[in-house]
Structure 1
């Protein structure tokens, strides 16, 4: 299973280093930003399992950042970290859609516990109906490894099905090559990478006539499943 991805916004370099180091020791994949603008740009391009946001950020504060994140994703857990202790600030943060609010200085143990709780909750909310999708003229049944419509039925291997589901759950977002490999095989081994290329080639052939759908290769980075639903 791929590590959970955390987007962490904090402009205090020392605190950011210590917190990121502790999170990575717990096997979380942490992306750190030191200002709100760059944090939002990264969130637009990648998918994350949880966001940890300082409030007093340069360029865009944590409240505004959380508001923009909620416009893009209504489900991802958000935890605010702040030196602000006023009840009004806590209430404002929760009203903006944050799941919790930790006051600095906080204990890393408490932060880790909250992360674990919210990740478990968000995983429970990903119900079984996330196994059936519509892709252009096709239906995709991820549970039974099938792409089909009224006249056609295409069987996929389990890995191909897992890959397509991963793309659809992260449509229009960049997925790094190593993230895909770890999600599908638990490793970014070279030979698994060759298999990935074969699977992507087959999915492209299946979807070649679907307008507004493509699997974009971002050289040296990974792939983006482009799906224009309009």
Structure 2
């Protein structure tokens, strides 16, 4: 079996070298680069099984690299390496398409566990053709990733869209935060469950607030549901 191929994008050369030695020892094939521009070139020109991406990089930030990569590659697992510990930075990274994040300083055993978790995940399959979901005047074309309410288009981020789709597939069913984390962020997501509350708030601002009635409901002490009015 061929060794998984990992790209390490980290401008601290000492840390990058440690990561490379540890990953090589764990039987991964590694390549290291130290700035965002060269990372983007490598990601454009080659296929990788996983990417470790620092946010603070010279020439091109890790967040910008992530945004550009996700325009042409939605499936390669990307784990952000960040010294920042603010909820906003974590949410922003996940919102742009990162699969996971780990905050510096970290234990190598934890990073290795996160890498294994991502490599166990199947690559994203294409959405089923012509799948459409609806509730009242809210309509979602899953294949085209288009959302409309009262025939007005609504622009959602990828994570907001995935959350809305999962709620719609389970309309009138109360879903816990853990269920939403598992199905929208992935079973092996290690972050805080309060990210669900943040995204539900974002979604309500776009899908419910400008319209009537509000579909997304909070079930106190349990979670959330999208409710069909009769």
Alignment TM class, shorter chain as reference: 0.5 to 0.7
Partner of 1:180: none
Partner of 2:76: 76
CA distance in 2, matches of 1:11, 1:37: 12
Runs of 4 or more above 6 Å deviation = none
Q: What are the residue-to-residue correspondences of 1:147-158 with 2, within 5 Å?
A: none
Deviations 1:4-60 (A, max 9, x none): 011110000111110111011001111111000000101111100111100000001
By how many angstroms is 1:77 displaced? 0.7
Partner of 2:13: 13
What SS does the aligned partner of 2:30 have?
A: strand
Checking the alignment, whether the CA contact within 8 Å between 1:75 and 1:122 is kept in structure 2 is: no
CA distance in 2, matches of 1:28, 1:126: 24
Q: What are the residue-to-residue correspondences of 1:1-230 with 2, within 5 Å?
A: 1-122=1-122
CA distance in 2, matches of 1:77, 1:105: 21
- Aligned residues: CA RMSD: 1.4
Checking the alignment, whether the CA contact within 8 Å between 1:76 and 1:122 is kept in structure 2 is: no
Aligned residues: 126
Bigger share in helix: 1
By how many angstroms is 1:122 displaced? 2.7
**Gapped regions of structure 2 (runs ≥ 5):** 127-230
Q: TM-score, normalization: structure 2?
A: 0.53
CA distance in 2, matches of 1:126, 1:28: 24
Partner of 2:148: none
